[in-house]
């Protein structure tokens, strides 16, 4: 059954690619870095809508998802699915948002869209209670486990100061496009968790980070494979007791979203939205110093929209 499904899907994918080749725009099939980052905006900030509608609006500012996802490419989406809590608790990325991003990618002709996280709580429960498993399946994406060491392969982090090696999930290493979809929330260890902190779910051994200067490790790892796009979900924002939260009382419904190609800029803007100075968050400051991106929002061209 599964094999048959696989074969039929492969054939279908082949057909789609074939048609695209015969009638489509050839240049779009072979993206070059220049057209990947041809957007006029560095960052988009949206407020006042539902998570999916805000993404529709935000991605428009970048010229649509097709600027990032080309036909036949594989996409990996990395939400925060760290905790066994329901969406309203603000512990995990909003499932509506994940669902919508997958649909955008598939509409743009993505071959496969994978979603995974190396969760903290039991992964089966996290995937199901967060609503993300359902959302991914509904959107025809592929939900993948991050709970087995066999998925993780050791890589060297050249720019790393403390974190020089890490075992990274194969989807991050193999996928053509990497979309990072963190949720903005308070964090007892890292002050706030946004885009760079979310990348901690790409690796197997997180204890090493905690034991070896957490903030430096977070910044170090952001230099390894920068996401092509970072979408910060700030719809339900956990203002205290993060990252797991204790109850819905920890959550402020901010109905906001920030997306950027620059993970440091996305983090800086989200931190401000949260109400903290990004330069006071060590890993944002360090990442800025390492020139992994810019936390100086004044120099960026920002698309702002209140729905």
Residues at the contact surface with other proteins, assessed by CB under 8 A: 2-3, 6, 45, 47-48, 84, 112, 114, 120-122, 124-125, 129, 142-145, 147-151, 187-190, 206-208, 210-216, 239-241, 243-244, 246-247, 249-255, 268-269, 272-273, 275, 280, 282, 297, 302, 304, 306
CB of 23 to other proteins, least distance (A): 26
CB of 302 to other proteins, least distance (A): 7
CB of 254 to other proteins, least distance (A): 6
Q: Is residue 231 classed exposed, middle or buried when 0-12, 13-18 and 19+ CB atoms within 10 A define those classes?
A: buried
Residue with smaller CB distance to other proteins, 14 or 275 = 275
Distances (CA, A) of 202 to 100, 198, 205, 280: 22, 8, 9, 25
254 close to 51: Cβ distance less than 8 angstroms? no
CB of 221 to other proteins, least distance (A): 15
217 close to 209: Cβ distance less than 8 angstroms? yes
Residue with smaller CB distance to other proteins, 35 or 241 = 241
CA torsion 200-97-297-41 (nearest 10°) is 120
Question: CA-based angle 264:297:301, to the nearest 5?
Answer: 105
Pairing of strands 74-79, 112-115: parallel
CB of 53 to other proteins, least distance (A): 13
| Rounded (to 5) percent helix, strand, coil in the chain | 45, 20, 35
In 3D space, the residue among 210, 211, 196, 184 whose CA is nearest the CA of residue 47 turns out to be: 184
CB of 35 to other proteins, least distance (A): 27
CB of 9 to other proteins, least distance (A): 9
Residue with smaller CB distance to other proteins, 147 or 290 = 147
Residue with smaller CB distance to other proteins, 158 or 207 = 207
CA–CA gap between residue 216 and residue 209 (Å, rounded):
8
Residue with smaller CB distance to other proteins, 20 or 300 = 300
CB of 63 to other proteins, least distance (A): 21
134 close to 95: Cβ distance less than 8 angstroms? yes
227 close to 295: Cβ distance less than 8 angstroms? no
Residue with smaller CB distance to other proteins, 144 or 155 = 144
What count of other Cβ atoms lies within 10 Å of the Cβ of residue 285?
18
Residue with smaller CB distance to other proteins, 249 or 289 = 249
In 3D space, the residue among 196, 202, 234 whose CA is nearest the CA of residue 215 turns out to be: 196
Residue with smaller CB distance to other proteins, 34 or 118 = 118
């Amino acid at each position: 059954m599964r094999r048959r499904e696989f074969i039929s899907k492969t054939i279908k994918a082949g057909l789609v690619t074939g048609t695209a080749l015969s009638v489509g725009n050839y240049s779009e099939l072979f993206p070059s870095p220049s057209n990947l980052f041809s957007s006029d905006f560095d960052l988009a900030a949206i407020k006042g809508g539902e998570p999916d509608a805000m993404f529709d609006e935000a991605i428009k500012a970048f010229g649509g998802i097709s600027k990032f996802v080309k036909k036949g490419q594989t996409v990996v989406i990395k939400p925060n699915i760290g905790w066994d809590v329901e969406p309203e608790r603000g512990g995990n990325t909003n499932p509506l948002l994940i669902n919508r991003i997958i649909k955008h990618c598939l509409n743009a002709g993505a071959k496969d869209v994978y979603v995974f996280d190396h969760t903290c709580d039991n992964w089966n429960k996290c995937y199901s209670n967060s609503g993300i498993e359902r959302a991914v399946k509904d959107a025809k994406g592929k939900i993948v486990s991050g709970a087995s060491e066999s998925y993780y392969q050791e890589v060297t982090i050249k720019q790393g100061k403390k974190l020089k090696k890490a075992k990274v999930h194969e989807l991050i290493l193999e996928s053509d496009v990497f979309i990072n979809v963190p949720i903005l929330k308070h964090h007892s260890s890292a002050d706030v968790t946004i885009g760079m902190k979310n990348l901690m779910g790409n690796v197997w051994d997180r204890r090493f980070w905690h034991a070896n200067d957490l903030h430096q490790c977070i910044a170090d790892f952001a230099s390894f494979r920068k996401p092509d796009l970072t979408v910060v979900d700030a719809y339900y924002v956990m203002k205290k007791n993060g990252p797991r939260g204790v109850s819905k009382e920890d959550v402020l419904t901010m109905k906001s979203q920030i997306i950027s190609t620059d993970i440091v800029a996305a983090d800086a803007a989200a931190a401000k939205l949260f109400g903290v100075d990004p330069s006071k968050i060590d890993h944002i400051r360090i990442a800025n110093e390492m020139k992994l991106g810019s936390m100086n929002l004044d120099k960026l061209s920002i698309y702002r929209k209140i729905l």
